[in-house]
Amino acid sequence: MRSSMLAALSLLLGGALAGCVGPDGPPCEDDVNSCANDSGAFVEDPTCELTGALELELGEGQAVYSPLTTGEMPEVYDGFQGAQHIWLGVRVKNPDLQHSSLRIDIALSVCETQCGNPQNWSLDNERTLVVGSRTITLTEEGWFEEEGVLVTLGNWGVATHRRVEILVRDPCGREGVAVASTWTSS
């Protein structure tokens, strides 16, 4: 009995040290959609009369949203299995308060040389998800805020130049884009 308990304990300890976790384990247990992409159908409302572009603010945060300043990039985290990830967030400053739903498309790109040429940027990873009232926070200012969006990285964390692009769409068909990049044309 004692040897079987020791064997089970050794197996559990070995798995933990090797970084083996279930699909709902860290860091996915903290992700807005448990690391799954789309969490449901995104439905547009043809009766919505709001127009214009969405005003976005790119940010980061696993549990608390923090805006990124101009030129700032999200912090890169090293997972205990050796992979890297970032926690993204976004604020919509002119949301449709009647519909707590957003489609969020994220693209991470990298470039090593001659980054003024768009063809020299390559996609590192992308993620699309639909979020709703379960995870969207309505701030005191009347903004929608979403944080806890985990995006895994390929070479993004170590690339010479990095870019994050977020496209957000609301049920009224309005869109907004937020971009952060380490490369500038000057």
Instruction: Identify the CATH number of the domain in which residue 167 sits.
Output: 2.60.40
Taking only the tens place, the pLDDT of each residue in 136-177 is 999 999 999 999 999 999 988 888 899 999 999 999 999 999
Determine, yes or no, domain membership for 3. no
Domain that holds residue 165: 24-181
Taking only the tens place, the pLDDT of each residue in 90-139 is 999 999 999 999 999 999 999 999 999 999 999 999 999 999 888 999 99
Whether the predicted pLDDT of 9 surpasses 50: no
Determine, yes or no, domain membership for 15. no
Mean pLDDT, residues 8-37 taken together: 51
Determine, yes or no, domain membership for 17. no
What's the CA gap between 102 and 89, in Å, rounded? 13
Residues 6 or more apart in contact with residue 43 via CB below 8 angstroms? 101, 171
Determine, yes or no, domain membership for 7. no
Percent of the chain with pLDDT over 70: 81
Task: Work out the pLDDT band at 39, boundaries 50, 70, 90.
Answer: low
What's the CA gap between 87 and 5, in Å, rounded? 38
Determine, yes or no, domain membership for 36. yes
Determine, yes or no, domain membership for 8. no
Its pTM stands at: 0.81
What's the CA gap between 69 and 61, in Å, rounded? 14
Domains in the chain, number: 1
Contact 33, 160 (CB under 8 A): no
Determine, yes or no, domain membership for 5. no
Determine, yes or no, domain membership for 140. yes
Rounded to a whole number of angstroms, the CA Rg of the chain reads 19
What's the CA gap between 181 and 163, in Å, rounded? 4
